[in-house]
C-alpha cells in the first residue's frame, strides 16, 4: 500500500487543498440559510472553487515589513551617524548597515507571516488543479500578485539607492526589477527552509560582505542582499553630497536633519 501510494505521489505530485475546511462549518459561521447557500452553490466543490479565486485575488507573496516601518528602521541606522555621509567610505558603511538590519527584520517578519504561508499553500494548491478555467484564473491572479510585490520591492530598492547616491552598475545586466526578483526569491527560499530548520532564524555569520572595513553579525539572507547590492549597484559619480542632499535624505527617512550636517567639521561638498 505504501509503495503504491508513493508511486502515485511521484507520478502526480503531493497536493495541497482546502479539505480541512468543512462546508457545513462555514455555513454555520457565516450565519446564513442553508437553502440560500445551496441555491448559490448546488455543490460544495463550486463554493471551494470560488474560495480559491477569492484567495488568489487577495494573496500577497512574502510581504515584508511595512514600508513605513522599513523607513523607520533605516532612519535609526542613519541617526547619529550623519558625519559618515560626508565621505564615500562612510556612505558605503551606512548602506551596508542598512542592508544588514533591514534584511534581518524582513526575514523574521516574513517567517511569522500567516499571509505568506497562505500564499505558499496557494502556489502548491494551484499546481494540483486540473487544467481548465479555474487553474488559469488562479494562475493569472497569482501572477498579478507576484508582479505587484516585485514592483513594490523594486521601488524600495530604487528609492534607498537613489537617496544614498547609488546607481545601477553599467553592464550588471539588470535593473531594479531584476534586483527585486532575486532578492524576493532568495528571501522566500530561506524562509521556506527555516520552516523545517528553525536554526536558520538565529544563525549569524561574522562577515564583511561589502568590504566596508568592519565585521558584523549577518543573517544568511542579509549576506544574499549584500551580494545582490554589490553586484548591481555602485556609487553615482554625478551625485554631490552637501547639506541640502543630507537634509533630503533625512526627510525621506522621516526625521529632521537640518542642523546635523553642520556638525561635520568638513562641510565642503563631496562628490559621490
Spatial CB neighbours of 262, under 8 Å, sequence gap ≥ 6? 243
- Convert the pLDDT of each residue in 21-60 to its tens digit: 889 999 999 999 999 999 999 998 899 888 888 888 776 6
Q: What is the pLDDT of residue 107?
A: 86
- Tell me the backbone φ, ψ of residue 216, rounded to 5 degrees: -150, 170
- Convert the pLDDT of each residue in 137-171 to its tens digit: 989 988 888 888 889 889 888 988 888 899 999 99
The ranges of the chain with pLDDT < 70 are: 13-15, 59-67, 255-272
Which pairing describes strands 166-168 and 233-235: parallel, antiparallel, or unpaired? antiparallel
Q: What is the 3-state secondary structure (H, E, C) of 20-62?
A: CCCHHHHHHHHCCCHHHHHHHCCCHHHHHHHHHHHHHHHCCCC
Tell me the three cell numbers of residue 267.
562641510
Q: What is the pLDDT of residue 259?
A: 39
Q: What is the pLDDT of residue 258?
A: 40
Tell me the three cell numbers of residue 125.
494548491
Find, among 32, 188, 25, the residue nearest to 103 by Cα.
Answer: 188
Provide the sign of the torsion angle of the four alpha carbons 137, 140, 144, 149, taken in this order: positive
Helix %, strand %, coil % of the chain (to 5): 65, 5, 30
Is residue 47 within 8 Å of residue 39, measured between CB atoms? no
Amino acid at each position: 500500500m505504501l509503495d503504491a501510494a508513493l508511486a502515485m505521489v511521484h507520478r502526480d505530485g503531493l497536493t495541497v487543498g482546502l479539505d480541512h475546511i468543512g462546508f457545513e462549518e462555514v455555513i454555520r459561521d457565516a450565519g446564513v440559510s442553508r437553502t440560500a447557500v445551496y441555491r448559490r452553490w448546488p455543490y460544495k466543490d463550486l463554493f471551494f472553487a470560488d474560495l480559491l479565486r477569492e484567495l488568489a485575488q487577495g494573496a500577497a507573496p512574502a510581504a515584508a515589513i511595512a514600508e513605513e516601518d522599513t523607513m523607520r528602521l533605516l532612519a535609526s541606522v542613519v541617526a547619529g551617524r550623519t558625519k559618515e555621509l560626508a565621505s564615500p567610505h562612510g556612505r558605503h558603511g551606512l548602506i551596508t548597515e542598512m542592508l544588514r538590519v533591514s534584511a534581518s527584520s524582513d526575514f523574521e517578519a516574513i517567517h511569522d507571516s500567516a499571509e505568506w504561508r497562505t500564499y505558499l499553500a496557494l502556489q502548491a494548491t494551484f499546481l494540483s488543479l486540473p487544467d481548465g478555467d479555474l487553474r488559469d484564473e488562479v494562475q493569472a491572479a497569482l501572477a498579478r500578485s507576484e508582479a505587484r510585490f516585485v514592483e513594490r520591492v523594486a521601488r524600495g530598492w530604487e528609492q534607498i539607492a537613489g537617496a544614498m547616491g547609488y546607481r545601477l552598475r553599467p553592464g550588471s545586466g539588470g535593473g531594479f526589477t531584476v534586483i527585486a526578483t532575486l532578492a524576493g526569491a532568495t528571501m522566500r527560499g530561506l524562509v521556506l527552509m527555516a520552516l523545517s530548520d528553525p536554526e536558520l532564524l538565529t544563525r549569524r555569520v561574522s562577515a564583511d560582505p561589502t568590504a566596508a572595513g568592519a565585521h558584523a553579525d549577518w543573517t544568511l539572507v542579509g549576506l544574499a542582499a549584500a551580494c545582490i547590492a554589490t553586484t548591481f549597484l555602485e556609487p553615482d559619480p554625478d551625485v554631490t553630497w552637501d547639506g541640502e542632499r543630507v537634509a533630503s535624505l533625512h526627510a525621506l527617512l522621516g526625521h529632521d536633519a537640518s542642523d546635523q550636517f553642520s556638525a561635520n567639521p568638513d562641510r565642503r561638498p563631496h562628490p559621490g
